[in-house]
Structure 1
Amino acid sequence: MRIGDVAERSGVSTRALRYYEEQGLLTAERTPGGQRTYPESAVERVRLIQQFFAAGVPSRTVLQLMPCVEAGQATPEVFQVLEAERERITAAMADLAAARDALDRMIDIANHPTPEHCPALREPAWSPYDPSGATVAAGSPVATASAG
């Protein structure tokens, strides 16, 4: 079966198939003209690879798991690898939740600015200009007199 046929039947791009081949997840024979040909079983294998990817399992880990998939028998090591992937994904989810919460706080601050978070809302936002170089505090007699 040619690469385009596998791509169409498995629902992935030919580029993805070439990537799978580069990663050692899929093998193809070559015709004398250099074209890839795949066995019928490639479609099912690609669908399985897609399931692993949809579950967040990276290609290097999928490669580790494939011998057990091909043998039809899981080992204790396979379960350890899968549990480690689950823990990695759970940690990533916690990191994303923390980032979302921080972004929610920033959105709230932007919608409801306070002097604590927004320097422009502090009194005074700036000091009045004094040509002598002395800083004049807002509300002082000099500031009041010069304002009038």
Structure 2
Amino acid sequence: MLIGELSARTGASARLLRYYESKGLLRARREANGYRVYDEDAVTRVRQIKALLDAGLPTERIREVLPCARGEKPDLDMCPQLRELLARQLRALDEDIEKLRHNRTRLANLAGDVRG
């Protein structure tokens, strides 16, 4: 299928699909005319990418996770490497949340919690 059809079927813009391809998350082959052509499984792959992005994974991590993804949800085959990768990502999110809480408290103290 061409990029326009993949875009229509997944809701991802053509620009976003090209970005996924540039990051190594999606593969296309080129026709003689230069058009990108995607296999049928690209629909599932794009839906997996979107679900993993929605879960807060950056594209660099998604590239590592995709080989373990099954189905559109996706379900993940938990190998030790994937378990460690996800644990690291969770720890990083916990650290970010703690920093945001700290910053919010300090800012609220400075502002007298102006939200009313």
TM-score by length of 2: 0.85
User: How far apart, CA to CA, are the structure 1 residues paired with 2:112 and 2:38?
Assistant: 55
Indicate how the Cα distance of structure 1 residues 30 and 109 shifts in structure 2: closer, same or farther if over 3 A, else same: closer
The residue number in structure 1 matching 2:42 is: 42
Cα offset, 1:73, TM superposition: 3.5
User: How far apart, CA to CA, are the structure 1 residues paired with 2:4 and 2:110?
Assistant: 48
Matched, 1:23 2:23: yes
Runs of 4+, deviation exceeding 4 Å: none
Q: In the alignment, which of 96, 99, 106 is matched to residue 95 of structure 1?
A: 99
RMSD over equivalenced CA pairs, Å: 1.9
Q: Of Structure 1 and Structure 2, which has the larger fraction of its residues in strand?
A: 2
Matched, 1:66 2:66: yes
- Please list every run of 5 or more consecutive structure 1 residues that lacks an aligned counterpart in the other structure: 112-148
Q: Which has the higher contact order (CA 8 A, sep 6+)?
A: 2
Aligned residues: 110
Matched-pair contact (CA < 8 Å) for 2:108–2:114 = no
Matched, 1:33 2:28: no
Cα offset, 1:109, TM superposition: 7.5
User: How far apart, CA to CA, are the structure 2 residues paired with 1:93 and 1:80?
Assistant: 20
User: How far apart, CA to CA, are the structure 1 residues paired with 2:68 and 2:113?
Assistant: 52
- Please list every run of 5 or more consecutive structure 2 residues that lacks an aligned counterpart in the other structure: 71-75
Matched-pair contact (CA < 8 Å) for 2:31–2:37 = yes
Q: Deviations over 1:3-60 (max 9, x none)?
A: 1111121111111111110111000011111011111111111111111111111111
The residue number in structure 1 matching 2:73 is: none
Cα offset, 1:67, TM superposition: 1.9
Percent of matched pairs sharing the same residue = 34
Say which is worse superposed, 93-102 or 77-86, in terms of deviation. Answer: 93-102
Indicate how the Cα distance of structure 1 residues 109 and 67 shifts in structure 2: closer, same or farther if over 3 A, else same: closer
User: How far apart, CA to CA, are the structure 1 residues paired with 2:45 and 2:96?
Assistant: 27
User: How far apart, CA to CA, are the structure 2 residues paired with 1:110 and 1:41?
Assistant: 51
